[in-house]
Amino acid sequence: MQRGLHFPAHVDWFRKHFVLKGAEEMLFQLQSLPCDMDLPVPSSMLSAVGNGQEDSSLLHRAYEPNPQHVHWMVGRWHYLDHYKSAYRTDEGQPWVLPVVKKVEQKIANDTSLNHEYLPILGLPEFRANASRIALGEDSCAIKENRVGGVQCLGGTGALRIGAEFLRRWYNGNNNTTTPVYISSPSWENHNSVFVNAGFKDIRAYRYWDAAKRGLDLEGLLEDMESAPEFSIFILHACAHNPTGTDPTLEQWKQIAAVMKRRFLFPFFDSAYQGFASGCLDRDAWAVRYFVSEGFELFCAQSFSKNFGLYNERVGNLSVVGKDTDNVQRVLSQMEKIVRTIWSNPPSQGARIVATTLTCPQLFAEWKDNVKTMADRVLLMRSELRARLQALGTPGTWNHITEQIGMFSFTGLNPKQVEYMIKEKHIYLMASGRINMCGLTTKNLDYVASSIHEAVTKFQ
Ligand SMILES: Cc1ncc(COP(=O)(O)O)c(C=O)c1O
């Protein structure tokens, strides 16, 4: 321990540097200590800061950056490699959508554009058209002028702004006790986003039935039935992350019926529209159904995946209210929230999306590009399943093709996962979740035979 300063100097120093109310108590305690006592000198003013890095994953610990290895999966913490919840081509490369390249050129050549601030709520044509693709051309809510959009920093930003608004204004003022229900399991950030917005009662609703390797509809509906009225439910619009398991249309109807009867608020997270089935309309079916059933709802849209605009941070929070006046009031509060967080959103990504969505030819090209990505994932699913079945790998593998979107819960248990990582150098989550984009025509055989070995050795 270094010899510290004598107290009077210490106290003066504190006075100078912490002109804060809370420091008074500290000063009182310091002054009441003997003057000749030695104190440790902190090596840094920030020395009390803990390490925020999560370190619980098998993948993280086992990861060795060897180019020979099959990097099959991205973990959320595994940000040093290139598979972080992002699309990859069959060559394992990131993909700039051709339509995006074209629109970027168009924007670069447009001399009328400048770098003035956008309005606080964002680029109007982006907001309107983003909401239009979520809710559909024929949306009764759009026709009745009771939809508003808030341009946000990605889907995460849309969730965060929505959560902040709900804490401030939903179910009373600043009601931090409204229960927020998140599927078990879910995208890991959902919990933190709502906690950081101030919600204190975050609960899990049943979703994944591990034995069945499918949706636990009964558990989900029971949890909705027993939830307090006005609870908030985060629903994955499509391509549920991490299970890849979505309710069927019939099941969505059942979910909507219970939520309506029990006065539960639907907050959709739509991070993969088009990416799941290859069809924008099909992937938005649940959101549109809820709107047609008269729900007021939020829908956080991300354009990170379906436009490949990950680092441009493009998102939209669609707000569907009961009438125009209601939505305008909500937007006026959203404006106040945004002003203190990022003040004005960035323009490039929003311009790319707006230009694409407003030009019929570019729109058609984009839909085609999205389908290319979705089809590659669907192909990898069917190829993997076919290989496992051909090898006679114990168990059933139909869930691989029944699941949808970027992620799949393989059903591999922790021992099997450990074997895959340590012996086969195939990196996947301890939960058995994989990113289908890590599969390519070149590594399919190796991956399938490795799963076969893992499952055969550790039943
Ligand atoms: C379910 C889900 N919601 C939201 C997001 C966040 O998307 P963005 O990168 O646009 O913030 C992701 C990203 O992986 C996600 O999987």
CB of 187 sitting under 6 A from ligand 1: yes
Per the residue annotation, which of 208, 283, 305, 367 is the catalytic one? 305
Average pLDDT over residues 295-306: 98
Between 12 and 175, where is the model more confident? Answer: 175
Q: What pLDDT score does 84 carry?
A: 62
CB atoms within 10 A of CB 149: 27
Cα of 302 to ligand 1 centre, how many Å?
Answer: 7
Lowest mean pLDDT among 37-41, 377-381, 390-394: 37-41
CA 84, CA 238: separation in Å to the nearest integer? 19
Do strands 214-215 and 208-209 pair parallel, antiparallel, or not at all (unpaired)? antiparallel
Rounded to the nearest whole angstrom, what is the distance from the C-alpha of residue 272 to the centroid of ligand 1? 8
Using CB atoms within 10 Å of the CB of residue 133, give its burial: 0 to 12 exposed, 13 to 18 middle, 19+ buried.
Answer: buried
223-281 pLDDT tens trace? 999 999 999 999 999 999 999 999 999 999 999 999 999 999 999 999 999 999 999 99
- Ligand 1 atom closest to the CA of 158, numbered from 1: 11
Look at residue 35 in the predicted model and tell me its pLDDT.
54
Q: Which of 223, 246, 269, 283 is catalytic?
A: 269
Q: Pick the residue whose CA is nearest to atom 3 on ligand 1.
A: 271
Residue 392 CA to residue 401 CA, distance in Å, equals: 17
Centroid of ligand 1 to alpha carbon of 187 (angstroms):
8
pLDDT band of residue 12 (cuts 50, 70, 90) is low
Q: Which atom, in ligand 1's list, is nearest to the CA of 313?
A: 10
pLDDT of 5 higher than 90: no
Whether 143 shows a pLDDT value over 60: the answer reads: yes
Return the bridge partners of 300, or none: 269, 317
- For the Cβ of 246 lying below 6 angstroms from any atom of ligand 1, the answer is no
Confidence of residue 40 (pLDDT cuts 50, 70, 90): low
Q: How far apart are CA 66 and CA 340, in angstroms?
A: 44
C-alpha of residue 281 to centroid of ligand 1, in Å: 19
pLDDT tens-digit map of 59-95: 433 444 444 455 544 333 322 233 468 999 999 899 9
Cβ–ligand 1 distance for 302 under 6 Å, the answer yes
**How much is the pLDDT for 43?**
84
Cα(418)–Cα(455) distance, integer angstroms: 11
Which among 194, 236, 241 is the best mutation to test ligand 1's pocket, defined by most ligand atoms within 8 Å of the CB?
Answer: 241
- Our answer on whether the CB atom of 85 is closer than 6 Å to any ligand 1 atom is yes
Please give the pLDDT value at position 345.
98
- pLDDT-derived band at 459 (thresholds 50, 70, 90) equals confident
Question: Is 342 a known active-site residue?
Answer: no
Distance between CA atoms of residues 374 and 277, nearest Å: 6
Q: How many CA atoms lie within 13 A of 313 on its CB side?
A: 13
Q: Check if 375 is active-site.
A: no
Percent of the chain with pLDDT over 90: 75
Average pLDDT over residues 409-438: 90
Q: Give how far Cα 430 sits from Cα of 42, 75, 395, Å.
A: 39, 9, 19
Over residues 37-54, the mean pLDDT reads 78
In whole numbers, what is the pLDDT of the chain averaged over residues?
88
Cβ neighbours of residue 22 under 8 Å, at least 6 residues apart? none
Quote the longest CA-to-CA distance of the chain. 80
Q: Which residue's alpha carbon is at the smallest distance from atom 15 of ligand 1?
A: 271
For residues 247 and 221, the answer to whether their CB atoms sit within 8 Å is: no
Examine the pLDDT at 14 and tell me if it is beyond 80.
no
Position in ligand 1 atom list of the atom nearest CA 240:
1
pLDDT of residue 3: 42
**Mean pLDDT within 340-361:** 98
Question: Mind listing the pLDDT tens digit for each residue in 280-291?
Answer: 999 999 999 999
Active site residue 187: yes
**Does the structure show a pLDDT above 50 at 1?**
no
Ligand 1: centre distance to CA 18 (Å): 39
Question: Distance from the CA of 230 to the center of ligand 1, in angstroms?
Answer: 25
Ligand 1: does its nearest atom lie under 6 Å from the Cβ of 270? no
Tell how far the Cα of 7 is from the centroid of ligand 1, in angstroms: 51
**Per-residue pLDDT tens over the stretch 426-446:** 888 888 888 899 899 999 999
Q: What is the pTM of this model?
A: 0.86
pLDDT at 59: 43
**pLDDT in the model for residue 33:** 57
